[in-house]
Amino acid sequence: MTSRPLCQFPSGSKVRVTGLESGGGARCRLCALGLTPGTVIEVTQNGPGPCRLKVRGSDLVLGQGLAHKVMALPADAA
């Protein structure tokens, strides 16, 4: 199974981060938010607007641009 961007998972999905497709500032920002490889995330809302997530017990909102840089697999497949 191949990784795909976080913004492509529907609401209610539990996924495991496999990598970050960004460099420099965006990578540092994502890591500071707790989105590191191996982390399990719950996508609580995803649609045309921002992507709402539950990460390590905290609620987080990412714009579609940043959500597109987080690569993930379904948590049960990773």
The pLDDT, as a whole number, for residue 78 is 46
Structural domain for 56, as ranges: 4-74
Q: What is the distance between the alpha carbons of residues 76 and 67, in angstroms, rounded to a whole number? A: 20
Number of domains the chain contains: 1
Helix, strand or coil for residue 8?
helix
Q: What is the distance between the alpha carbons of residues 1 and 78, in angstroms, rounded to a whole number? A: 9
% helix / strand / coil in the chain, to the nearest 5?
A: 20, 40, 40
CATH of the domain at 58: 2.30.30.90
Q: Read off the pLDDT band of 23 (50, 70, 90).
A: confident
Question: Of 40, 53, 58, 39, whose CA–CA distance to 7 is shortest?
Answer: 53
pLDDT tens per residue, range 25-78: 899 999 999 999 999 999 999 988 999 999 999 999 999 999 999 999 999 874
